[in-house]
Chain A
């Protein structure tokens, strides 16, 4: 038992990546939003606006996507442009009624890691 042939050890250890590949689901929250302009300038109902989001790392604006999801689960791809620094994206929001929404963002960080994450926000009638 103590003298296991090398090729058999390799065969047994090969199970590791194979099983890992079968079961693992990976982490996809690398570049997270740490600040948005909505805090200073809340989005108003019925008013198209631009929202600037700041990430914890530089992101590739041309290779990122942000979707808006409403309470009914309807998804809308939003137009995004690069912000004032590499860690910022500017999101164009259409006119929206008051309610709860989610930004679903899929971004590529400058170091090559992907993020699939979401950010909740609310549009309120109250100023």
Chain B
């Protein structure tokens, strides 16, 4: 296996490991504070707790598996880099030893949770499971960035582990809350219990957010240090993206909090009422945003902190320039001009050629114009005065064809390589898959909006793909060679990633909620399309 693929697998497993940790440890904390309220359980509480512990057990096994697989992926990557077996040297590393211990602790936690599930009324079993979870969290501190720093190692490790704990309690709690609501749709007793559990979760969620803030602020100051570090580096912009996602999730949490307070104030007199109508969907979207934030957090952990790149930070003026309105490039350089510019001086004396920049500018700007057209049609449809506007998803077909033709100039129809020959190259393959996804997105959304009785899942494909695209844009990074130049390319992609996520979540809420809240969320979704279009229209390759 090539080291690039193994590294990628390692990164992806890291993200899923965080999610599994949230299910397991976050679920355990959630279960303890929200469901284990008395020694004698009602049947509904027992059912809810059993279901929650099942999810936590799944998370713990999932974490054990991802941790084992991460060790395997690292060994594969090392074998390809070193061209010899990485053993036994790999066995001596902190990564291997702590990784193995963490995998075993996760497996032990899974067994502990299974033991707890049999008799959840026994406090001793909770203590045992909590002790295993605490050991697991502590062990993880040796795998965070602070553990490899030469200065302030211990405080950074402690703060990061606590920060991680705050995050997983919040994320895990929200997911378990959503899962319990799902269970409530099959079991009326559980449904009746749900509002009180939501009310009990609220202070726990607030405490988790407080831990996140109290640990996140010193970590941010340590790793970012200055405003320029926040604005002018990939690390800073990813941190800012995480804040935006968490602020959006916090906004939804605020709605849940208000609903729970109202329900408590009325002493549950209104039954499920409003609390059962919209709140579960806010919880669902909050969970999606937090899930995305975990991916961003995993990416952040892999980036060099801003404080380590003092000479390679972009200025605020340079970042503003990346987004500032400019006249879009409407005329593409010819392929001959690009070929001429591609007399590559090699990696040692790398310079970006003007024709190549213009080619890229034109691609981005024209894609933005197409997307703006799609967005304006969607707005026109929403006014109710332009029924033909409902065909706006077909605009994605034009966008897909544009990507297919323009993305790879060395492949047919511009280059010497045939369509199939081009597929041997990873980037080209990715672009062809992007073409297929964009096509699929357009066709499915068009069918969802223009078919009298579409399949129930069909309308959800569009927001799910937007969320996917958002995560990909956020976790994608250009090769790090010239940090500042690459960052100035990346910053617009990061902004588009956040907007794509908001677009997906907005549309998801529009599908789930009744008007006016649903319609408002839909407006937000369309606005995100227009903002992404604007970023693309004003995109210019930064000077090398």
Contact = CB atoms under 8 A, between A and B. Distances in A.
Interface of A: 1-6, 8-9, 11-13, 15-17, 19-32, 34, 56-60, 62-63, 65, 69-73, 85-87, 100-102, 106, 108-114, 116-118, 120
A22 B291 CA distance: 18
A100 B349 contact: yes
26 contacts: A3-B456, A4-B457, A4-B460, A20-B295, A23-B434, A23-B472, A24-B12, A24-B471, A25-B8, A25-B430, A26-B11, A26-B302, A26-B477, A29-B304, A32-B309, A56-B308, A57-B149, A63-B78, A63-B90, A65-B81, A108-B78, A108-B95, A110-B95, A110-B147, A111-B148, A116-B7
A106 B468 contact: no
Contacts, number: 190
Interface string B469-498: 101100111011101000000000000000
A56 to B, nearest CB: 4
A16 B467 contact: yes
A60 B299 CA distance: 21
B346 A16 contact: no
A58 B93 CA distance: 11
A26 B8 CA distance: 6
A58 to B, nearest CB: 5
Given A26-B475, A34-B308, A86-B150, 6 more contacts: A4-B460, A16-B467, A19-B468, A110-B95, A112-B143, A113-B302
Nearest to B9: A21
A114 B480 contact: no
A23 B475 CA distance: 10
- B interface bracket (residues with beta carbon within 8 Å of A): 35 or more
B10 A114 contact: yes
A4 B481 contact: no
Given A17-B12, A112-B74, A57 B150 contact: yes
Contact of A8 (B95, B305, B456, B471): B456
B433 A23 contact: yes
Interface of B: 3-4, 7-8, 10-12, 16, 70, 74, 77-78, 81-82, 86, 89-90, 92-95, 99, 142-150, 182, 185, 234, 288, 291, 295, 299, 301-305, 308-309, 346-349, 430, 433-434, 437, 456-457, 459-461, 464-465, 467-469, 471-472, 475-477, 479-481, 483, 511-512, 514
B150 A28 contact: no
Contacts of B92: 62
Contacts of B8: 24-26
A69 B147 contact: no
Question: A-B pairs with the 5 shortest C-beta distances?
Answer: A29-B480, A57-B148, A112-B95, A110-B148, A56-B308
A88 B252 CA distance: 47
Contact of A27 (B93, B347, B433, B480): B480
A111 B94 CA distance: 7
A63 B86 contact: yes
Task: Specify the main secondary structure of chain B where it touches its partner.
Answer: helix
B500 to A, nearest CB: 12
A34 B70 CA distance: 28
Contacts of A86: 150
B346 A20 contact: no
A4 to B, nearest CB: 5
A70 B3 contact: no
Contacts of B469: 19
Contacts of B288: 13
A56 B145 CA distance: 10
Given A1-B511, A65-B81, A87-B150, A20 B303 contact: no
A120 B512 CA distance: 53
Nearest to B92: A62
A113 B99 CA distance: 12
A5 B308 CA distance: 48
B346 A72 contact: yes
Contacts of B86: 63
A73 B348 CA distance: 8
B54 to A, nearest CB: 14
B346 A13 contact: no
A63 to B, nearest CB: 5
Contacts of A58: 148-150
Nearest to A13: B464
A27 B144 contact: no
A100 B148 CA distance: 32
A102 B150 CA distance: 26
A8 B469 CA distance: 20
Contacts of A27: 11, 234, 299, 302-303, 475, 477, 480
Contacts of A65: 81-82
Contact of A111 (B147, B308, B460, B514): B147
A36 to B, nearest CB: 14
A57 B302 contact: no
B100 to A, nearest CB: 12
A114 B116 CA distance: 38
A120 B483 CA distance: 13
A56 B149 CA distance: 7
Most buried by A among B7, B99, B304, B468: B304
Most buried by A among B7, B70, B459: B7
A21 to B, nearest CB: 6
A69 B350 CA distance: 13
Contacts of B467: 16
Contacts of B348: 69-71, 73, 100-102, 120
Contacts of B459: 1
Contacts of A3: 185, 456
Contacts of A12: 457, 460-461, 464
A50 B296 CA distance: 39
A112 to B, nearest CB: 4
A110 B141 CA distance: 12
Contact of A62 (B89, B94, B514): B89
Given A101-B348, A108-B93, A20 B12 contact: yes
A87 B302 CA distance: 17
A25 B302 CA distance: 13
Contacts of A106: 3, 81
